Amino acid sequence: MNYYNVVFQPGDVSLEVAEGSTLKEAMNDVGLEFDFLCGGRGTCGKCRVKISKGLTTPVIREQEMLQVKEVDEGIRLACLTTVHNDLIVELPNQKKLAHNILIASEERAFQIAPQLHKVFIEVDKPSRETQSSDWRRLKEGLVKQGYKDHELESTVSILRQMPDVLRGANNLITAVMYESTVAGIEAQDSTKTMLGMAFDIGTTTIVGYLLDLYSGKELSVVSTLNPQTTFGADVISRLTFANHEENGLIKLQSAVVEAINKLIVEAAQKASILRNQIYGISIAGNTCMHHIFLGINPQSIAVSPYVPALSEPLVLDASELNISINQAGKVFMLPNIAGFVGADTVAVLLATELDRSEDIKLVIDIGTNGEIALGSKEKMVACSAAAGPAFEGAQISSGMRGAVGAIDHVYYRDKLEYSVIGGEKPLGVCGSALLDTVAGLVELGILNKRGKFLEFEQLTNPVAQRFKENLIQYEGQGAFLLAEADSTGHGRPIMITQSDIRELQMAKGAMAAGVRVLMETYGIQAQDINEVLLAGAFGNYLTPHSACVIGLIPLELESKIKMIGNAAGTGSKLALLSSGEFRRARDIANVVKFVELGSYPRFNSIFGECTYFNIK
Amino acid sequence: MNYYNVVFQPGDVSLEVAEGSTLKEAMNDVGLEFDFLCGGRGTCGKCRVKISKGLTTPVIREQEMLQVKEVDEGIRLACLTTVHNDLIVELPNQKKLAHNILIASEERAFQIAPQLHKVFIEVDKPSRETQSSDWRRLKEGLVKQGYKDHELESTVSILRQMPDVLRGANNLITAVMYESTVAGIEAQDSTKTMLGMAFDIGTTTIVGYLLDLYSGKELSVVSTLNPQTTFGADVISRLTFANHEENGLIKLQSAVVEAINKLIVEAAQKASILRNQIYGISIAGNTCMHHIFLGINPQSIAVSPYVPALSEPLVLDASELNISINQAGKVFMLPNIAGFVGADTVAVLLATELDRSEDIKLVIDIGTNGEIALGSKEKMVACSAAAGPAFEGAQISSGMRGAVGAIDHVYYRDKLEYSVIGGEKPLGVCGSALLDTVAGLVELGILNKRGKFLEFEQLTNPVAQRFKENLIQYEGQGAFLLAEADSTGHGRPIMITQSDIRELQMAKGAMAAGVRVLMETYGIQAQDINEVLLAGAFGNYLTPHSACVIGLIPLELESKIKMIGNAAGTGSKLALLSSGEFRRARDIANVVKFVELGSYPRFNSIFGECTYFNIK
């Protein structure tokens, strides 16, 4: 078997690869994580990489999925490209290594200085005369490294391990330190690696990133459905469950802790490390997820004045929370801002550096509860808008989440076209396609400003004529057909009904009203905003133009929109990798001014106006 | 039924007592603890109190057990005296209340400033606009009381209770503080009482004192056999069990933790409080007991160089150690000095104030392992002497512990007389009687300097003739008969054999050699010592003269001997009642110089000499 050298850029990660392996396999081998949306089955066309040296002919499937121009530029799909010679492969810059973290398609540098660090020490041998205890001699070793004797602390579990580790390692040990606390001891010199995991606990999805805390390198990424969804799809139903079901809080907490522990096992297996080597995790999530994870009853969030029980950042023992990392490991909890503006928003602001920005930026994390922040280093305001689950496909007649089988984008060309996640027959429509569909209907004049389907005879735009077939009546209301029954995966038509449009109007109206109120509070107009950053899964998939046409985002900001991916996850990573960033999270939570929409003057009329569409 | 007012002094503790109740019952009702050695059955005559107002005629039993002079002075027995009018009762000063602790028959004052304290705060109501979290508002309340915001910490369990407590108490709460950590929260103002328990974990006995940490008042005293005795009678056998039996350490730890939890329940019941109100416990015990309690393998103590794993003082979470006090409670561990000079010795030094003494004092805690300390505020030295279990009656043919049925004192009068604990027929002989017996035999010239029984014909002292009947041969060796078979509780004779005397010589030789080595190390002679303080149960019961005659303590120090009771328990109390005393414990552990007898030059010959008796 022949082996060839493959170098991944940026980061100069190189390895020898057996002939015929795919680039995906090579990336797995070297621990480079990459989102293969269709699981690497060559159906989604999203795993684009650029071959800058050693270009080979694309396979037929690649030719189908890539534009000719892209093929000429050396773009290939990582799951379909096999290795037959030495290669240099450029990855999209989301995979930058070392201490650069992708955010808003830009890297931002920060000082890697993890909260946890390791110190190798040679402990003095025990002496019959001095009777200096194991712990005393260990402390003396740390004092030689600059620690202050009277500040040094430890825990019972460490003290229990200490005698065996010291004697087993002939007094050569590595201490894992959190500030002046010995959080772990390992035999011999293990200072080369220091592992941690950053988590983003979403209401729907939990994502975990296994990181080398010294290099900043991401060793694996894992995610899972938040198992709490069994008990309720959104924050409000979780709050209700926690407060009214017997042992509701405990059930919710156990579910999320179990999910996180499974992710830890999975991430460790993928990276071929032991979970015992993981000494810290960071947690970002909304206030409700935050409280439930800690086992704190979130009842105060559910009732007026909706305050959190806890907003400050916290460092806790992993064992206290039953997190299965090293038994001496730590859990770093990012702070909350308010009952409905949580640690996930703080993480997004940490990642987007709103607090350091010269320009005024608008940051939107769209979800069931949309969080919106506006500001610059001068000041920041934030609010939460109860959008409801329409953006996630719930409450929509043909709606579904953005999973395999979902129509994710809709194009009004000569005829109606759409793309389906996974490429198979469609099963439903997800939020981004809902936006595309409705935006098209608005632009074609098929919907009026108030969101009502016009009669076909009333349509004035000639292009609208092309979609006559799609305009149907369904159960006594107007509807727009996306896919006939026989072209779908389940034999039922997929459509957007008048009711669905009302749902979307409520959802986008809530978000838009939030943006409007923040601008008023801040004292600016839309044109004063220099950048709109869209965070979260939905924000990353929507078509900016559609979002502006329906009025989710002010129309004049369309060209200023940037997708910034899972910024909450990025913020969680930053807090884990750098004690300075963790401190900054506290500062951000302290300075962001929370704006309570419910008590804002004229909120109802603002909201009413915002449910309208932007008809030019 | 008539009720009368009874006032106990000192402390002005008064209550209404039903006519005919005993003073013992009244003391129980009001929570005054008192040692009723025979269980209050009127047989030991030790529960002497003085009636200073309302004196009544003694019952016949009291007349028998008290001297005429005592009866005239108003001395009565608390278990036999019944109430028929108003009384003022003076208790022996061991029951002083407030911040005086009995030690060496003297009170010593100290500043009550417990490590734990309570603060009543009125927390601001939550506000929809500021969204200030429960924890933030609670901290603001503490800041108003002088705490520093950035130093304030809490634990997950407190944060979990917080929302309910705050809302249930309409934001009026009492915070239980340990330094800047909120260790507990209680509804409303509960600052009046603050409870804790001080423990002394002995190899054989565990004693616990329930204290009001504000007044220093002792609410109840409880004790139990250390259940670890099932796994081994002495420290060495416990070490062996911990190191060589499967789950040995866990079994030993569980046993002691369970015993302590039972004592907590018992103490709480006796004082009619809830164990949830107990926020802290202090622990004194030898190094082995200390390590096992913490679940730290004591293997390093068992093998050369015999160093402890841990010597520093520690403050731990009670929940981490499964101690069933308030779930946010703290455990204060006194420090150790060396592998065989532990936190119990530190507690004794704390109580005896050796570190503040102008005079040179010798402190001896006699047990299976005797700990000896010598010094003053200038310097202190300490050692451990492996006396073996002879003083506790083990390895002695008729030996038993100092329990009901044990002959505890022996008198060479016209004929041999003895006293028995509990007053019934004797079952065996305990350590103090062993000393009395042997000392008498030495003084009568029946034993020679080397501890050998002389032939009856060789005896020159005419008084020795009186005990001819007692000098017997038993299984081929000389022996001294204390009780004929038919006068004992089990129908077997009780005697001291030649082998028993050898055992005693080994035990007292080890202790005496320890004293000798400490004096040599310190550079002084016996006459330079101003006071000899005997701590521990055995030290409290032995006859000083006997101890000196057999050479356990240098003869010239007989008049300087003081019994100081359970000084380790007293030291444990001090550490719990005063953060200054807890700090002083650390200082003591740091400055006491440990002297290792095994490696002391000429130790074997010193030990050999010390096995001899002091024949004038």
pLDDT averages per 10-residue partition of chain A, 616 residues = 83 80 80 61 75 86 82 88 90 44 49 86 91 95 93 90 94 93 92 93 92 92 91 87 93 97 96 94 97 95 92 92 92 96 96 95 88 97 88 87 89 94 90 96 95 91 93 94 93 94 95 97 97 88 93 95 92 94 95 93 95 81
Using alpha carbons only, what angle is made at residue B294 by residues B289 and B300, rounded to the nearest 5 degrees?
65
Residues of A with CB below 8 A from B127's CB?
A: 305, 307
What is the distance in angstroms between the Cα of B154 and the nearest Cα belonging to chain A? 9
Q: Which residue of B has its CA nearest to A150?
A: B312
What is the distance in angstroms between the Cα of A126 and the nearest Cα belonging to chain B? 7
Taking residue A551's Cβ as centre, other Cβ atoms within 10 Å add up to: 24
Q: Inter-chain contact A133–B308, Cβ cutoff 8 Å?
A: yes
Residue B113 has a pLDDT of: 80
Q: Inter-chain contact A131–B300, Cβ cutoff 8 Å?
A: no
Q: Which residue of B has its CA nearest to A586?
A: B150
Residue B150, SS3? helix
Could you tell me if A309 and A302 are in contact, meaning their C-beta atoms sit under 8 angstroms apart? no
Which residue in B368, B370, B363, B432 sits closest to B399, CA to CA? B432
* Whether the bond into A163 is cis, omega within 30 of 0: no
Residues of A with CB below 8 A from B327's CB?
A: none
Sign of the Cα torsion B352, B353, B354, B357 reads: negative
Residues of B with CB below 8 A from A134's CB?
A: 300, 307-310
Distance (Å, rounded) from C-alpha A588 to C-alpha B24? 65
Helices vs. strands in chain A: H and E counts, helices first: 17, 28
Mutate to test the interface with B, among A123, A124, A125, A128 (most CBs of B within 10 A): A128
Question: Tokens 């159960």 label which residue?
Answer: A475
Residues of B with CB below 8 A from A242's CB?
A: none
Residue B205 has a pLDDT of: 87
What is the distance in angstroms between the Cα of A159 and the nearest Cα belonging to chain B? 7
DSSP for B324-353 reads -S-TT-EEEEPPPSBTTB-HHHHHHHHHHT
The answer, yes or no, to whether ipTM is higher than 0.90 is no
Q: Which residue of B has its CA nearest to A309?
A: B134
B76-99 burial: b if 16+ Cβ within 10 Å, else e? bbbbbbebeeebbbbbeeebbbeb
Detail the DSSP E strand segments found in A462-544: 471-474, 477-483, 494-497, 531-535
Residues of B with CB below 8 A from A583's CB?
A: none
> Parallel, antiparallel, or unpaired: how do β-strands B106-109 and B87-90 relate?
unpaired
Residue B390 has a pLDDT of: 85
Which residue in B430, B444, B426, B441 sits closest to B478, CA to CA? B441
Q: Which residues is A365 bridged to in the sheet?
A: A371, A535
Q: Inter-chain contact B131–A162, Cβ cutoff 8 Å?
A: no
Residues of B with CB below 8 A from A310's CB?
A: 133-135, 159, 162
Residues of chain B short of pLDDT 70, as ranges, are 11, 30-41, 43-44, 46, 93-110, 616
Residue A20 has a pLDDT of: 86
Q: Inter-chain contact A126–B307, Cβ cutoff 8 Å?
A: yes
Residue A287 backbone class (left: φ over 0; alpha: ψ -120 to 50; beta: rest): alpha
**Residue in B126, B159, B297 closest to A307 by CB:** B126
Residues of A with CB below 8 A from B303's CB?
A: none
Q: Inter-chain contact B128–A596, Cβ cutoff 8 Å?
A: yes
| CB neighbour list of residue A486: distance below 8 Å, 6 or more residues apart | none
Sign of the Cα torsion A76, A78, A83, A85 reads: positive
- pLDDT of A524-554, one tens digit each? 999 999 999 999 878 888 999 999 999 999 9
**Residue in A156, A307, A596 closest to B134 by CB:** A307
Could you tell me if B196 and B215 are in contact, meaning their C-beta atoms sit under 8 angstroms apart? no
Residues of B with CB below 8 A from A253's CB?
A: none
What is the distance in angstroms between the Cα of A470 and the nearest Cα belonging to chain B? 48
Q: Inter-chain contact B131–A594, Cβ cutoff 8 Å?
A: yes
Q: Inter-chain contact B163–A294, Cβ cutoff 8 Å?
A: no
Which residue in B261, B277, B111 sits closest to B187, CA to CA? B277
Distance (Å, rounded) from C-alpha B440 to C-alpha B438? 5
Residue B513 has a pLDDT of: 97
Q: Inter-chain contact A127–B305, Cβ cutoff 8 Å?
A: yes
Residue A206 has a pLDDT of: 94
Q: Inter-chain contact A300–B337, Cβ cutoff 8 Å?
A: no
Q: Inter-chain contact B320–A156, Cβ cutoff 8 Å?
A: yes
Q: Inter-chain contact A131–B310, Cβ cutoff 8 Å?
A: no
Q: Inter-chain contact A594–B132, Cβ cutoff 8 Å?
A: no
Using alpha carbons only, what angle is made at residue B377 by residues B375 and B383, rounded to the nearest 5 degrees?
30
Distance (Å, rounded) from C-alpha A46 to C-alpha B574? 70
What is the distance in angstroms between the Cα of B297 and the nearest Cα belonging to chain A? 7
What is the distance in angstroms between the Cα of B404 and the nearest Cα belonging to chain A? 40
What is the distance in angstroms between the Cα of B152 and the nearest Cα belonging to chain A? 11
What is the distance in angstroms between the Cα of A111 and the nearest Cα belonging to chain B? 24
- pLDDT of B513-560, one tens digit each? 999 999 999 999 999 999 999 998 788 889 999 999 999 999 999 999
Residue A100 has a pLDDT of: 38
Could you tell me if A43 and A404 are in contact, meaning their C-beta atoms sit under 8 angstroms apart? no
In order of A462, B443, B512, B530, B551, the CA distances from B559 in angstroms are 121, 18, 17, 10, 14
A127-145 burial: b if 16+ Cβ within 10 Å, else e? eeebbbbbbbbbbbbbeee
The size of the A-B interface in CB pairs under 8 A is 142
Residues of A with CB below 8 A from B132's CB?
A: 307, 311
Q: Which residues is B474 bridged to in the sheet?
A: B477
Q: Inter-chain contact B167–A336, Cβ cutoff 8 Å?
A: no
Distance (Å, rounded) from C-alpha B292 to C-alpha B238? 9
DSSP for A25-67 reads HHHHHTT-----TTSSSS-S---EEEEEES--PPPHHHHHHS-
* Whether the bond into B554 is cis, omega within 30 of 0: no
Q: Locate A250 and state its tokens.
A: 């405990």
Residue A55 has a pLDDT of: 85
Q: State which amino acid sits at residue A222.
A: V
Q: Locate A565 and state its tokens.
A: 């991916």
Task: State the alpha helices, DSSP H only, in A66-185.
Answer: 68-72, 134-144, 156-168
Which residue in B327, B377, B375 sits closest to B357, CA to CA? B377
Q: Which residue of B has its CA nearest to A306?
A: B128
**Residue in B155, B162, B316 closest to A309 by CB:** B162
Which residue numbers of B have CB closer than 8 Å to A's CBs?
126-136, 155-156, 159-160, 162-164, 167, 294-297, 299-300, 304-312, 316, 320-321, 336-339, 594, 596, 599
DSSP for B213-256 reads TTT--EEEEEEEE-GGGGG-SSHHHHHHHHHHSTTHHHHHHHHH
Residues of A with CB below 8 A from B308's CB?
A: 131, 133-134
Distance (Å, rounded) from C-alpha A406 to C-alpha A393? 10
Q: What's the DSSP call for residue B492? A: S
Residue B41 has a pLDDT of: 66
